[in-house]
Chains A and B, each alone.
Chain A
Amino acid sequence: MELYILLIFMIFAAFVAIEMKDLFSSVIAMGAVGFALCLAFLIVKAPDLAITQLVVEILCLIILIRATMNKDLPLVIEGRWVFNTMATLIFAGVFLFFSYWALKELPNFGEPLMTVVRKYMEEGADKTGSVNLVTGVVLDFRAYDTLGEAAALFAAVIGIVTVLRKTGSKSHDK
């Protein structure tokens, strides 16, 4: 029941974040979505994810606010307003229709299959020595995923430092 309330709140806040005219307000509304997601992680018994989501959301807000500070854009109503909105809504409707048929095949909420994980839960603490099963899965059973994550984070850092380096803007004079 709490999850329904939180999800409806998240949908409402996301719509506000998309539709708000002021960029600063929409960034704050996106922060509301993120913190509601953190609460939802706590309710579905995922404390690791709740801690990570909380601190990541704070850093995300700091970066977005620094980027959009003093840079506002007056909203313009473009010519093909009706056509663009209708095309987007029709696409979202078709997506929702097919996802309804796909979601009917999933197991019910609260009764997962847990075929692979049963083995992890029985032997995981003895095989890896870690009593936190999430850390055991991340760093022992599925450590290749974490290696790929480290590579992707490294590539993102290199990309940001390359895009924002000083010599790039020095060669272009207005």
Chain B
Amino acid sequence: MGLYFLCIILFCVGLYGVLRKRNIVKIIIGLVIMNYSISLFFVLLGYKFHGRAPIESQNQTIANMVDPLPQALVLTSIVISLAVMALLIAIAIRIYERYGTFDITKIKRLRG
């Protein structure tokens, strides 16, 4: 319960960055931090006390492994988050060379 709540607080720090900051790079950093907190929350849901990593070794009976399903779901989402972050960075670079700033309130002109 306490660990879950700390994960939600980390999510809120990222959300604060997204909602409050005006620099595009700060907004991207906030999004990445939100992504980290969600990954950690998923993996914490599958943790079992005194569990082993979900990899079998030789001559071992199945006992007391942590949950492999959230780990498998998070494994795909980590690489996706990297690709999405790179896409946002590409858009930010285009905005910088078109408008000369990272400030989102200065982007007012509509130039096709």
Q: Do chains A and B touch in the complex (CB under 8 A)?
A: yes
- A interface vs B, CB < 8 Å? 3-4, 7-8, 10-11, 14-15, 17-18, 23, 26-27, 30, 33-34, 37, 40-41, 44-49, 52-53, 56, 59-60, 63-64, 67-68, 71, 73, 76, 78, 84-85, 88-89, 91-92, 95-96, 99-100, 103-104, 106, 108-112, 114, 116-117, 120-122, 125, 131-134, 136-138, 142, 145-146, 149, 152-153, 156-157, 159-160, 163-164, 168-169, 172
Contacts of B84 in A (CB 8 A): 156
Residue interface bits B52-78, CB-to-A below 8 A is 1, else 0: 111111000010011111011111101
Q: Quick one: which of A46, A109, A116 contacts B1, CB cutoff 8 A?
A: A109
In the bound complex, do residue A30 and residue B32 qualify as a contact, i.e. CB atoms below 8 Å apart?
Answer: yes
In the bound complex, do residue B55 and residue A71 qualify as a contact, i.e. CB atoms below 8 Å apart?
Answer: no
Q: Can you report 27 residue pairs joining A to B where beta carbons are below 8 Å apart?
A: A4-B6, A7-B7, A14-B14, A14-B33, A18-B17, A33-B33, A33-B36, A44-B47, A45-B51, A45-B52, A46-B66, A49-B39, A49-B78, A71-B96, A92-B12, A96-B12, A112-B46, A117-B69, A131-B57, A132-B55, A133-B68, A137-B68, A142-B69, A153-B80, A160-B86, A163-B90, A172-B98
Q: Which residue of B lies closest to A138 (CB)?
A: B72
Main SS at interface, chain B: helix
